[in-house]
Amino acid sequence: MRQRLTLLSVLWLSAFLSFAQPKSADVPSAPGRWSATKANAWYAKEPFLFGGNYNPANAINELEFWQAETFDPATIDKELGWAEQMGVNTMRVFLHDLPYQQDAKGFIKRIDTFLNICQKHKIRPMLVLFDSCWDPYPKLGKQHDPVPGIHNSGWVQSPGADALTDVSQYPRLEAYVKGVIGAFRNDNRVLMWDMWNEPDNTNDNSYGDRHTIKTELPKDRKIAIIGKLLPQVFQWGRSVNPTQPLSSGIWKSFVDDWTNASAIPAFNRMQLENSDVITFHQYSDAPSLEKLIAGLKKLGRPLICTEFMARGVNSKFQTHLPIAKREKVGMICWGFVAGKSQTFLPWDSWQKPYVNGREPSIWFHEILKSDGTFYDPAEEQAIKSAMGKK
């Protein structure tokens, strides 16, 4: 009788604890998505991840980065050497479909060269396949010079508007995704794959509604097209069986209860249903970061913030890195070295350009000046402290 009571007590206590503990509530999974168990096992082997969205200082955009004529291993090696010194262990790096269309073998070889440089500096990058931000009409060849005083005046979308609206080009986009991921699907030099950056971004501030030059696709049309295409992109990636996880980041995170799938906007829910690891962007203050992390953690998967750090909106290394390290949330800031992208200028420079060499009183993005010195010594201390560097 006593044994029976003890067993009943144990069962009662287990039931009580199961109700008392907060539950994870992952969204439904698209075909092939990693289980939460697999994703968490993968992440448990990783250190606290920190790095930047990397573009060489002498490249205005992804095309100037990757085209054969302007691909610059010496500059990359120098700048990633600076990254290694501060403890950076990952970088988020944007690829583009057009160099693959032009010369698939050459592009794959350049990616391999880049990964070798990363490995030399103990950096495992996250590679981005597609991107909805900035100029919707990319063109191969020589890229234009930076427009004076304007943030990211030369960055280009991938795929561009022409390819998005032409289904006859989708087979080449599929070949690009399968070709690139397939070439590196078992490669430990690659941390993971970001399938599409800010896919539902309609660039209101630059090429869209709030700018005098409106070349962006109509909002509803663009979002509808990508909403159908992005799940296919995930399936293309999964079809080559990569050992690295896939993701597409939430960049407008206005949900109070991430455990309520019906409360998550349909587009964001689609991203989450396909993502092995949850990635997100956070350009706001530290309390907002803590709230967002607490909400997203309820989904029960690893978290990596793939864009943060905009000094003008109180998104800073000093405030954000301690929170992220405590919660083991990877953090990748926008930018690394000030250069042709000019993202040390604020977003609203599209409306109010910094002309005649004028700079903002506070840099918006970037960690380093062009000579490799820190923009702010206090940030150097915060980064090196988080990464265990002296």
Question: pLDDT by residue (tens digit) across 63-88?
Answer: 999 999 999 999 999 999 999 999 99
pLDDT at 15 over 50: no
Q: What is the pLDDT of residues 87-120, one digit of tens each?
A: 999 999 999 999 999 999 999 999 999 999 999 9
Average the pLDDT over 356-379 and give the result. Answer: 95
Name the maximum alpha-carbon separation found in the chain.
89
pLDDT at 6 over 50: no
Is-above-0.85 flag for pTM? yes
* Burial class for 314, CB neighbours closer than 10 Å (0-12, 13-18, 19+): middle
CB atoms within 10 A of CB 36: 16
* Burial class for 289, CB neighbours closer than 10 Å (0-12, 13-18, 19+): buried
Please state, in angstroms and as integers, the Cα–Cα distance from residue 189 to each residue in 46, 116, 149, following that order.
13, 8, 36
Of 208 and 363, the structure prediction assigns the larger pLDDT to: 363
Structure confidence at residue 211 as a pLDDT band (50, 70, 90): low
* Burial class for 345, CB neighbours closer than 10 Å (0-12, 13-18, 19+): buried
Mean predicted lDDT score pLDDT of the chain? 93
Structure confidence at residue 208 as a pLDDT band (50, 70, 90): confident
Top CATH class, 27-386:
alpha beta
Per-residue burial over 320-333, b if 16 or more Cβ lie within 10 Å, else e, is bbeebbeeebbbbb
Average the pLDDT over 197-226 and give the result. Answer: 88
Which region among 4-13, 148-157, 270-279 has the lowest average model confidence (pLDDT)? 4-13
Identify which of 106, 230, 85, 118 has the alpha carbon closest to the alpha carbon of residue 179.
Answer: 106
The sheet that has 278-281: what strands, in order across it?
Answer: 246-247, 192-197, 126-131, 90-94, 50-53, 330-333, 303-307, 278-281
Sign of CA dihedral 283, 285, 290, 295: negative
Percent of the chain with pLDDT over 90: 85
Average the pLDDT over 291-315 and give the result. Answer: 97
196's tokens: 């599409």
Q: How many helices (H) and strands (E) does the chain have?
A: 13, 8
pLDDT at 47 over 90: yes
Cα separation, 368 vs 383, in Å, equals 12
Structure confidence at residue 356 as a pLDDT band (50, 70, 90): confident
C-alpha 96: how far from chain center: 14
Cα separation, 39 vs 301, in Å, equals 7
